[in-house]
Structure 1
Amino acid sequence: MLDTALRRARAVDPFDTVCIAVSGGGDSMALLHMAADWGRANDCAVTALTVDHG
């Protein structure tokens, strides 16, 4: 579903870099792992940006 939406929007091309903001919590880590899998499947680099709220 995400793949289809991004391709239709032409938001990400092969060899682009996608940045994911993560806090280190479980939801963020799950998002990061899913994004990394998606990146490998679509020839895109995924970079984690850490967010420290405190």
Structure 2
Amino acid sequence: MAYIINDDCIACGTCIDECPTASITEGEIYVISPETCIDCGACADVCPTGVIAPAE
């Protein structure tokens, strides 16, 4: 199951470099592609605001 970034994302960019599959897209809030996310959690581990979590 892919991870998701909720609407409280501050677009700081910390997660981008941590993603081994380049599944995160920049924007006002960042978005994780469910097609390429491998559910590793690396992005969630480095998110300073804690807004990245496994999709339910």
> Quick check: TM above 0.5?
no
TM-score, with normalisation over the residues of structure 1? 0.31
The structure that has the greater radius of gyration is 1
Choose between structure 1 and 2 for higher RCO, CA contacts under 8 A separated by at least 6 residues: 2
Structure (1 or 2) with the greater strand fraction: 1
TM-score, with normalisation over the residues of structure 2? 0.30
Structure (1 or 2) with the greater helix fraction: 1
